[in-house]
Each structure stands twice: as C-alpha cells, then as structure tokens.
Amino acid sequence: MNPLLEVDGLVVDYGRARALDGADLRVAAGQTVGVVGESGSGKSTLGAAIGRLLPRQARVEAGEVRVAGERVLALRPAELRRLRRSRLGFVFQDPIASLDPTMRVGRQLRLVLGRTGRDDVAAQLARVGLDADRVASAYPHQLSGGMAQRVAIALAMAASPELLVADEPTASLDAQVREKVLDVVFALAAGAGTSIVWLSHDLPAVARRCDRVAVMYGGRVVESGPAAAVLGAPAHPYTAALAASAPAAAPPGVRLRPVPGRPPVLTGPSPGCAFEPRCPFAEERCAVERPAPVRVGEQDALCHRAADLTGELEVVA
C-alpha cells in the first residue's frame, strides 16, 4: 500500500537561504510521526510544504510531495483546496493565527462542519474539552491561549482529516495546559484514524507519544524509524547527540539543550554531510560526499558511517 504522505528530495530556498536540502519523509495511514531537530533545521518549512502553505518568498527548487498519491505541488488551486479540506488539517504554534479574529468561534466551526455535515458545534467543542455555552459566542481574542489552541484543534479535526500537521502547537502554552492539549490532539487522532506529523523541539514528549521519529538536520531528514529504535539505539551521530542532550527520562516540557557547535546555515546544496563540522566520527569523505540513505536495523540514516557505527552510538542519559 502507498504511504499516505510521501516527501521525496524536497529542496526549498528562501532567497539565498536553503531551508530544505533534499528532505525525505514517509508517513503511513494512522501513524504518528514526531519530526525533531534544532531550530532552523527545516521542520516548519517541511510541514508547510505538505499543504503547499509555504510563505510567498519560498521557492521549491526540486522534489515532490504526495498526499494519498496526489502531487501536492502540481495541483491546480481548486484541487489543492479540495485536498486540504478533505484530507489535511493544520495546527500552528500560535493558535490565534489559525483563527479568524472577526468571527465568533461557533460560526467558524459551522463553516467547516457545513461542508461535511458532521456533528454540531457543541459536540465538536466538547471533544476538545470546551463548553459551547461559554466558547461558541466568543471571539478568538476573548479566549486564553490554551482555549484558543483547543478551538484551532477542533477546527483542524472537525472534518476528520487523514493527516494532521501540528507545528509546535503547544510551544506557547504553559506546561500543564500543554500536556492536556496534546492529550486531546492524540486522542482525537487515534479515534479518527488520523496520521500525525508533529513538528517539535520536545524530544522526550515525542518519544512518549509518537510511533515514529524523523530527525532533521541541515534541511534533510537524517534518520527515521520507530521511536524506540531511533532514540534508544540511534544510527546517526546527530541523533545520538540530540538524544543525549534531552534524555527521554527528562520531565515534560524540557527543551533541547543545544548539541555542541553551531547548526549549518546553507546557501545552496551541502557538498557533503551537513553535520561534518560537529561530528566526532567524521572522515575525509564526509565533507565532500553527500550521504545516501543506509538501512541500519529498523532505521534509515543519512550517514556514510551508519553501518560501521552500529552499537557505538551510545545515548548518555
């Protein structure tokens, strides 16, 4: 069976800055995938590209995005709207940004539901733990951050999308609300059979909630596979450094401590492995040859040495 989402060799530039440098990602129906990586690694760009929601100044230079086999980047505007409406949902870091400030919450929900003819507004709000009597007649700015994010989630999930792209949906919320909102997202998705691509800094939370993990570095997915395998026995030196900097046993909400050294700033294709300047295992070819994917155990890793480093990359908790 074809995966629900296929991203192949995606290259995206913002002017001279290269945000994605050949990113690959596969998500099967019903899977929850956490996409992790340092700031600037390309997570948001990848997430936006899935729905062709990239900012105006972004240019797709190469690659392909398919959702249920449809070539997202080639669709005509009407087809794109249909695809977004019928198969995709999005939640972003700032909930207010996904809501219409001029429209009461109930009306916004009715607009989404009208097309699908499903449950009524009160039921949708109840699913995200909100009381319709209080919330339906409110404008977005009258809600707290946590309530507004729940409304954004209700809107994104109202039509039971096949794929929800969640870009740090809880980063602006305090720790207690954050866990509750995540509970809501993952429970709704599990109930509806919705796949999740969750873009996040929060490695321990991803480890707890996601089936699979994709690790981004320098605009590429450098390692992907089942969460326990990727985080427990990394195949890529960057994953090992990342996992060591934010052990899975850390309390909820801990953000990644930076890996020593600086992330790359690309202005074109990386000539070799983008992690080479920071990698303790680098060899000569690493600076000049782009690594191709290697299968190691249950993981795929973009590292010349992935096979001979098997078992060497310890996660220091």
Ligand X SMILES: Nc1ncnc2c1ncn2[C@@H]1O[C@H](COP(=O)(O)OP(=O)(O)OP(=O)(O)O)[C@@H](O)[C@H]1O
Please give the residue ranges that form the binding site for ligand SF4 (CB under 6 A): 236-237, 273, 275-276, 279, 281-282, 286, 291, 303-305
299 touches ligand X by CB under 6 A: no
102 touches ligand X by CB under 6 A: no
Burial of 317 per CB tally in 10 Å (0-12, 13-18, 19+) = exposed
Return the residue of 1, 16, 57, 311 that touches ligand X, per CB under 6 A. Answer: 57
Smallest distance from ligand SF4 to CB 250, Å: 24
**Nearest to Mg ion of 65, 306 (CB atom):** 65
124 touches ligand X by CB under 6 A: no
Smallest distance from ligand SF4 to CB 295, Å: 15
Q: How many CB atoms lie within 10 A of CB 172?
A: 17
Tokens at 135, concatenated: 């919330």
Smallest distance from Mg ion to CB 68, Å: 25
239 touches ligand X by CB under 6 A: no
Question: Among all chains, which residue has been given the structure tokens 């009258």?
Answer: 142
Locate all alpha helices (DSSP H) within 137-217, ordered by sequence: 145-157, 175-192, 203-209
43 touches ligand X by CB under 6 A: yes
How many whole angstroms separate alpha carbon 42 and alpha carbon 23? 9
52 touches ligand X by CB under 6 A: no
DSSP 3: -
Coil vs helix vs strand at 61: strand
**Nearest to ligand SF4 of 71, 285 (CB atom):** 285
What is the CB-side half-sphere exposure of residue 66 using CA atoms within 13 A? 11
222 touches ligand X by CB under 6 A: no
Question: Which helix (H) or strand (E) element contains residue 45?
Answer: helix 43-50
Burial of 150 per CB tally in 10 Å (0-12, 13-18, 19+) = buried
Residue 19 interacting entry, from Mg ion, ligand SF4, ligand X, none, C-beta within 5 to 8 Å by type: ligand X
Contacting residues toward ligand X, per CB under 6 A? 14, 17, 19, 37, 39-45, 55, 57, 201
